[in-house]
Amino acid sequence: MAEDKPDMTALAKAVADSPKRDNSAYHKAMAEAREAFAQAEIALGGPVEVRTKGKMKRNGDYVVKWTFRRQT
């Protein structure tokens, strides 16, 4: 077990030294998703189910379509 400690130390150092990712776009998208769910629940009058459909466009955009239905 003592042999594992140097590897864990190296792993911890590598994580600490790695550049931090900018997750602002992810956090914005998740906030928009939560808002979309809330609006769908208001519009449909209760809990909803969602289906997604993704597609890569020719211009390089990845488009996701969300369809909300009242939960059965």
Q: To 5 degrees, how large is the angle CA 65–CA 68–CA 72?
A: 145
Query: Residue 16 domain-assigned?
Result: no
* For residue 2, pLDDT beyond 70: no
Residue 48, CB-side half-sphere exposure with 13 Å CA sphere: 18
Name the domain count of the chain: 1
**pLDDT of 39 above 90:** yes
**For the segment 4-33, what is each residue's pLDDT rounded down to a tens digit?**
556 777 777 887 888 888 889 999 999 999
CA distance 22 to 35: 22
Q: Which of 24, 21, 48 is nearest to 37 (CA)?
A: 48
Q: Say how far apart CA 31 and CA 39 lie, in whole Å.
A: 12
**Residue-range definition of the domain harbouring residue 54:** 47-72
Quick check: is 23 in a domain? no
> For the segment 45-66, what is each residue's pLDDT rounded down to a tens digit?
999 999 999 999 999 999 999 9
> For residue 36, how many other CB atoms are within 10 A of its CB?
14
